[in-house]
């Protein structure tokens, strides 16, 4: 029995499209039919560009193969500017906002043949006030945030690829809660032009999909670095389990996922050694919180000054906490982060990557919160590349997984080992 087009991986679809075995219009239509069926319940989209997507698909079907993303529908998080669709940043302040240019990453995706299917729901300014999106695995549970819509749409087979961004854990946490693959690249790898700025020190653009091969394909197209797609490895990878200084937050489901990973590594001739991070890393969780709050209070200065009554109480409280942090304290936090980043290479020791928690556990049974980003914060602060792998089910039958973390700049290593692990966990 053949797999419906909308359920296939982006990598498989890309190969079929490039060989003209399927048409882009067929694929877009399959995605739109799924959206029509499920969107009333999941509510992943803030804007759907149905007619434009079909028009672009027909145009691509008539012409030459354009690039790596030829004919692939893409979900664009509503934090990314798009010249032909509204961009609201998850806020009523920008309900009528229509940018005149694409974000760099969106423009490069179009150049590579990608079809922007629409805008997916972001939490308010990619912080903690949820949008309307629900977890497709259980509609009473949060999909996570802030890349809520992209993660839910991919998990529900509405679209094969989605843009995301992370300032705390906004790629990894929704990937974990929705059971998809999330890739947060090394800080600075993806051009951030045209994406609403929250923190110059932390903001990182990322990708969501249904396989490691898919996120690697997406990243290769946006960075124009095809080496990211070279995922084969010739020797046994060097992997350590790292419980982190935040392990006390992990619930029974995440603990069992770590135990499962340890057993899987042992079965594949890898001694599941534990790596302890340096004591200074215990300070990074609080430092990330303060840096993020300090930067947000300044990045959203206009919105606070001119539209304060349209901000949620959650966001107002977060911005107020940023006001309480002195410049001296902020500079000390930045210095701490700088010192810790300089230690990462040696902290990993002989290991190429670490397996660490992605989230506390399953997606919480609430639509009023997006879950605690505790297990993403320090890796965002350190600028490390991370790939979330879904492979386990929690007590309620919802997805649970772990993230593969590498040294800054070693994205190719992380992606290769993530694929290796995905085949064995």
Q: CA-to-CA distance for 414 and 400, rounded, in angstroms?
A: 20
Catalytic one among 105, 109, 122, 146?
146
Alpha helix (H) ranges present in 142-211? Answer: 148-155, 172-178
161-166 and 73-77: which strand pairing? parallel
- State the first-to-last Cα distance of the chain, in angstroms, to the nearest integer: 26
DSSP state of 195: B
Q: For residue 235, give Cα distances in angstroms to 85, 232, 269, 420, 422.
A: 46, 10, 12, 11, 16
Please report the sign of the dihedral spanned by the C-alpha atoms of residue 198, residue 202, residue 206, residue 211.
negative
| DSSP-assigned letter for residue 425 | -
Catalytic residue among 11, 91, 170, 199, which?
Answer: 170
Strand 353-357 relative to strand 386-393: parallel, antiparallel, unpaired?
Answer: unpaired
Annotation says 193 is catalytic: no
Cβ proximity of 92 and 134 under 8 Å: no
User: Residue 146 catalytic?
Assistant: yes
The conformation of residue 248, written as its DSSP 8-state character, comes to G
- Residue that the structure tokens 């490069």 belong to: 108
7 vs 13: CA distance, rounded Å: 10
Q: Specify whether 170 is catalytic.
A: yes
Please give the C-alpha separations between residue 363 and each of 45, 141, 154, 253, 401, in angstroms, as whole numbers.
Answer: 20, 6, 16, 11, 11
Tokens 């940043």 belong to which residue?
A: 89
Q: Structure tokens of 50?
A: 């149905």
Identified catalytic residue from 56, 77, 119, 289: 77
DSSP 94-116: GTT---SS--HHHHHHHHTT-EE
Q: How far apart are alpha carbons 335 and 173 in whole angstroms?
A: 27
In which order are the strands placed within the sheet that holds 386-393?
Answer: 45-48, 115-120, 73-77, 161-166, 204-209, 181-184, 386-393, 399-406, 353-357, 239-241
What token pair was written down for 228? 């990211």
Contacts of 305 (CB under 8 A, 6+ apart): none
Q: Which residues are designated catalytic?
A: 77, 146, 170
């Amino acid at each position: 029995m053949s797999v419906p087009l909308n359920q296939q991986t982006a990598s498989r679809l890309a190969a079929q499209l490039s060989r003209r075995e399927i048409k882009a219009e067929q694929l877009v239509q399959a995605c739109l039919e799924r959206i029509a069926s499920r969107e009333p319940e999941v509510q992943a989209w803030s804007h759907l560009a149905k007619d434009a997507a079909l028009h672009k698909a027909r145009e691509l079907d008539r012409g030459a193969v354009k690039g790596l993303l030829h004919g692939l529908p893409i979900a664009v998080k509503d934090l990314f500017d798009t010249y032909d669709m509204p961009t609201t940043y998850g806020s009523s302040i920008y309900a009528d906002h229509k940018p005149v240019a694409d974000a760099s990453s969106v423009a490069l995706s179009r150049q590579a043949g990608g079809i922007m299917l629409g805008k997916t729901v972001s939490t308010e300014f990619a912080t903690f006030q949820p949008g309307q999106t629900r977890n497709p695995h259980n509609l009473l549970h949060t999909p996570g945030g802030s890349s809520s819509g992209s993660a839910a749409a991919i998990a529900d087979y509405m679209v094969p690829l989605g843009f995301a961004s992370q300032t705390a854990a906004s790629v990894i946490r929704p990937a974990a809660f929705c059971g998809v693959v999330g890739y947060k690249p090394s800080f600075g790898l993806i051009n951030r032009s045209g994406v609403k700025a929250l923190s110059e020190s932390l903001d990182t653009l990322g990708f969501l999909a249904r396989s490691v091969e898919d996120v690697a394909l997406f990243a290769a197209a946006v960075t124009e670095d095809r080496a990211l797609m070279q995922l084969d490895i010739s020797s046994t990878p060097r992997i350590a389990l790292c419980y982190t200084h935040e392990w006390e937050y992990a619930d029974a489901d995440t603990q069992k996922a770590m135990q499962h990973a340890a057993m899987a590594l042992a079965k594949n001739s890898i001694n599941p050694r534990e790596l302890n991070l340096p004591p200074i890393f215990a300070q990074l969780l609080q430092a990330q919180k303060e840096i993020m709050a300090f930067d947000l209070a300044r990045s959203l200065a206009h919105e606070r000054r001119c539209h304060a009554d349209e901000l949620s109480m959650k966001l107002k409280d977060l911005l107020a906490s940023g006001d309480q942090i002195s410049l001296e304290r902020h500079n000390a936090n930045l210095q701490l982060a700088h010192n810790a980043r300089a230690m990462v290479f040696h902290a990993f020791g002989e290991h190429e990557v670490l397996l660490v928690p992605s989230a506390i556990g399953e997606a919480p049974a609430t639509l009023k919160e997006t879950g605690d980003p505790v297990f993403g914060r320090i890796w965002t602060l350190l600028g490390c590349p991370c790939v979330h792998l879904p492979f386990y089910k929690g007590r309620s039958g919802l997805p649970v997984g772990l993230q593969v973390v590498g040294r800054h700049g070693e994205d190719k290593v992380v992606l290769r080992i993530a694929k290796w692990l995905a085949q064995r966990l």
